[in-house]
Amino acid sequence: MNLSPLYQILLRIFTLPGLLLFWVRYRGLRNIPNGGRVIVCSNHKSVFDPFLLAIPFRRQIRYMAKSELFTDHGRLAGLVLKLLGAFPVSRNTADRASVRAAQGILANDGVVGIFPQGGCVFGNEPFRAKAGVALLAERARAPVLPVSIYCRGLLRPFKRITIRFGELIPYEKLPFRGRSMAQMRRCASLIAGKINAMLEEGH
């Protein structure tokens, strides 16, 4: 299952309470790949998103998390994030170190999680993805698994939530025609379009 011991322990402890608190309905579970490198790309509703995505995923998702989470919430929070396999990324900058870290994970057939909105967005409106997800997919030659997290209003306990795993987008189907920023934005737009289409389905 390719899970670290700590990841397995925390997942086992919190899965049942999590499903009792969050009324989640999962769709498209057959689309989750059992092996090989993959980038999990989802809209971002709340701090609970990584946990809710991890429950049906049989492999450890290593998240690119904003650097402030590692520094602004105490050393313990930063340590736990690192133990869970998350790694920091500086938003709105060309963070080459985080891209290299993600490439290394994918090179070993790992799973990297990205929230391409750059932060939590509480609504379900169509969004434009930042180009970073396309840049990583191009450099790592990795497929992308689009995921939508839908609920009305704020995502919080005792609300209906629908999480859809879309069809895997093979690397060969991503519209790369070079490495220009325009090409990266074009590819990111395609990925966001898949997620937006699933969000429009609602529950």
Contacts with 156 (C-beta within 8 Å, 6 or more apart), sequence order:
46
Q: Which pLDDT does position 76 carry in this prediction?
A: 66
| Dist CA 165 CA 147 (whole Å) | 5
**Tally of domains in the chain:** 1
CATH (domain of 73): 3.40.1130.10
Q: Which pLDDT does position 77 carry in this prediction?
A: 61
Tens-digit pLDDT profile for the chain (203 aa)? 567 888 888 888 889 998 999 999 999 999 999 999 999 999 999 888 888 999 999 899 998 877 776 666 567 666 666 767 788 777 655 567 888 889 999 999 999 999 999 888 888 999 999 898 999 999 999 999 999 999 998 898 999 999 999 999 999 999 887 778 888 999 999 999 999 999 999 87
Owning domain of residue 84: 5-200
For residue 34, count CB atoms less than 10 angstroms from its CB and return exposed for 0-12, middle for 13-18, buried for 19 or more: exposed
- Token pair listed for 25: 């309905």
Q: Which pLDDT does position 88 carry in this prediction?
A: 76
